[in-house]
Amino acid sequence: MTEPLRLSKRMSELGLCSRREADEWIARGWVRVDGVVVSELGSKVFPHQRVSVERQAAAEQSKRVTILINKPVGYVSGQAEDGYQPAIALVTAANRWAEDHAPQQFHPTQLRSLVAAGRLDIDSVGLLVLTQDGRVAKQLIGEDTSVEKEYLVRVSYNKPGKLPDSDLRRLNHGLSLDGKALKPAKVRWQNDDQLSFILREGKKRQIRRMCELVGLKVLGLKRVRIGGVKLGDLPTGQWRYLSADEQF
């Protein structure tokens, strides 16, 4: 017999929203199971039962914004730490890119529940996603995410000569971190001192640690793409909205 699941977990599995959003919608009476309103948190459902949400939920979700920042060095992705400012501090009306043609008007209420969907180290730069939309967060940082992230990485080799082809192959597939094999990556030379990395996972300081294992020192790291969304010409320290026709 199939075991029942928490309604919030089932809603997340169905791609309706995040678990946190699901609990909020359940508490507001916006969720129906087989046509009956369920408003008790912690309620369980069977996989075959039909889950639907009221129009108010979809309307509220459509107002939630996703913001792209070109993060400079010296800012942390999430909560402030050790005196360093979080990237969300850059999201002001003055810092919005002049060439952002999205129809949204900036309002400070958009900063509520705006969370980083993935990390970018304090000494790394480039594309960082902040979102109020639980669906976007789940897509980018959920356990089963397969969204590609592309980085340009300037390196120096700390041994005589050039990095052997065998070590370049190990960067593509064959390294382990924290006792666990890494998923296959796509790593190739862009020029004499710059590599392109395309990853489908994001362990802490992963690229720097991968490079250390083959004798490379990272001098600079920039994220230029997440899935189908590119950093493009967005200036350092500025931000724009994710447009309606962009998909990760």
Q: What is the pLDDT of residues 132-147, one digit of tens each?
A: 888 888 888 876 778 9
pLDDT range class, residue 95, cuts 50, 70, 90: very high
pLDDT for res 1: 55
**What distance in Å separates the CA atoms of residue 41 and residue 38, rounded to the nearest whole number?**
8
Share of the chain above pLDDT 70, in %: 98
**In terms of CATH, what superfamily is 5-62?**
RNA-binding S4 domain (3.10.290.10)
In terms of pLDDT, which residue wins out, 226 or 112?
Answer: 226
CATH class of residue range 149-226: alpha beta
pLDDT range class, residue 91, cuts 50, 70, 90: very high
pLDDT (mean) for 68-88? 90
pLDDT for res 146: 84
Whether the pLDDT of residue 60 is over 70: the answer is yes
Identity (one letter) of the amino acid at 172?
N
Mean pLDDT of the chain: 91
Looking at residue 118, what DSSP letter applies?
A: S
CATH class of residue range 66-141: alpha beta
Whether the pLDDT of residue 87 is over 70: the answer is yes
Nearest partner of 69 among 241, 192, 248, 247, judged by Cα: 241
**What distance in Å separates the CA atoms of residue 9 and residue 20, rounded to the nearest whole number?**
10
pTM here? 0.79
Q: Is 34 a catalytic residue?
A: no
* Token duo for residue 26: 């359940």
Whether the pLDDT of residue 59 is over 90: the answer is no
Q: Where in the chain is the domain with CATH 3.30.2350.10?
A: 149-226
pLDDT for res 108: 87
Q: Where in the chain is the domain with CATH 3.10.290.10?
A: 5-62
**What distance in Å separates the CA atoms of residue 19 and residue 181, rounded to the nearest whole number?**
30
Distance of CA 98 to the CA centre of its chain: 24
Q: What is the pLDDT of residues 145-172, one digit of tens each?
A: 789 999 999 999 999 999 999 999 999 9
pLDDT for res 62: 67
Q: Where in the chain is the domain with CATH 3.30.70.580?
A: 66-141
Nearest partner of 110 among 137, 92, 84, judged by Cα: 92
Share of the chain above pLDDT 90, in %: 70
pLDDT (mean) for 187-209? 94
Q: What is the pLDDT of residues 33-54, one digit of tens each?
A: 999 999 999 999 999 999 999 9
- Which of the following is catalytic: 121, 144, 167, 193? 121
Whether the pLDDT of residue 6 is over 90: the answer is yes
